[in-house]
């Protein structure tokens, strides 16, 4: 991330400049750097069930490195005691309350919007309505802009900006997840529960992951 935002385009009156980097939310130094660039910055973070997120993260890595260890062996520090390895990034990223704590040292909650990854799929227009409100924009995006793609299992834009063709998420999205033993999934659910509860409390929003 460039210091003082020299890589950001100039923003004119009435314009909003957006920048997307998934790793910011979990990078320790990011809040201070962004704050020093502009303390008025609004932050939008898409979050989803941390267990599904961890499995999805593993699926992405597996597609690039087919010889990595099993999900189970990476999840546990000690399989017998069921001790979760929190140093594994796929697990670490889903501890949202911990990362949010870091951001709240610099930005007030009113400048941060958490978008539900699940609702982005089940009700894209509704979630994007929240985004438009948060940014002080008129609600222009509605249900009529989307259709549900059965093959991908995701909503797609009927018409992309400047094109007459529909726009769907790329090939890397919507991959079939490997089968994970239910006991492993349950252990992860138990591990994340207290962190999820704290996150719901901090955001004033129940994401319904438990």
Q: Check if the beta carbon of residue 107 is closer than 8 Å to that of residue 35.
A: yes
User: Which tokens is 106 given?
Assistant: 């610099």
Q: Check if the beta carbon of residue 198 is closer than 8 Å to that of residue 50.
A: no
Instruction: State yes or no: 174 annotated in a binding site.
Output: yes
d(Cα 72, Cα 52) in Å, to the nearest integer?
14
Instruction: State yes or no: 177 annotated in a binding site.
Output: yes
> Sign of the C-alpha dihedral, residues 180, 184, 190, 191?
negative
Instruction: State yes or no: 79 annotated in a binding site.
Output: no
Instruction: State yes or no: 142 annotated in a binding site.
Output: no
Instruction: State yes or no: 56 annotated in a binding site.
Output: yes
d(Cα 101, Cα 35) in Å, to the nearest integer?
15
Known binding residues:
48, 56, 173-177
Known binding residues for 3'-phosphoadenylyl sulfate:
48, 56, 173-177
């Amino acid at each position: 991330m460039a210091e003082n935002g020299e890589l950001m385009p100039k923003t004119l009156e009435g314009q909003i400049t957006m920048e997307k980097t998934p790793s910011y939310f979990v990078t320790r130094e990011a809040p201070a750097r962004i704050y020093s660039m502009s303390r008025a910055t609004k932050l939008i973070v898409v979050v989803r069930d941390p267990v599904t997120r961890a499995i999805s993260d593993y699926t992405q890595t597996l597609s690039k490195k087919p010889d990595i260890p099993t999900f189970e062996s990476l999840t546990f520090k000690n399989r017998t005691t069921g001790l979760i390895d929190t140093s594994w990034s796929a697990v670490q990223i889903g501890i949202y309350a911990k990362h949010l704590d870091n951001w709240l040292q610099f930005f007030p909650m009113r400048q941060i919007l958490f978008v539900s990854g699940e609702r982005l799929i089940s009700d894209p227009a509704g979630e994007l309505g929240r985004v438009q409100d948060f940014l002080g924009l008129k609600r222009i995006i509605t249900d009529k802009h989307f259709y549900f793609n059965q093959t991908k299992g995701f909503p797609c834009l009927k018409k992309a900006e400047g094109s007459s063709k529909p726009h769907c998420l790329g090939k890397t999205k919507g991959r079939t997840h490997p089968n994970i033993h239910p006991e492993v999934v349950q252990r992860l659910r138990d591990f994340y529960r207290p962190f999820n509860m704290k996150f719901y409390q901090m955001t004033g929003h129940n994401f319904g992951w438990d």
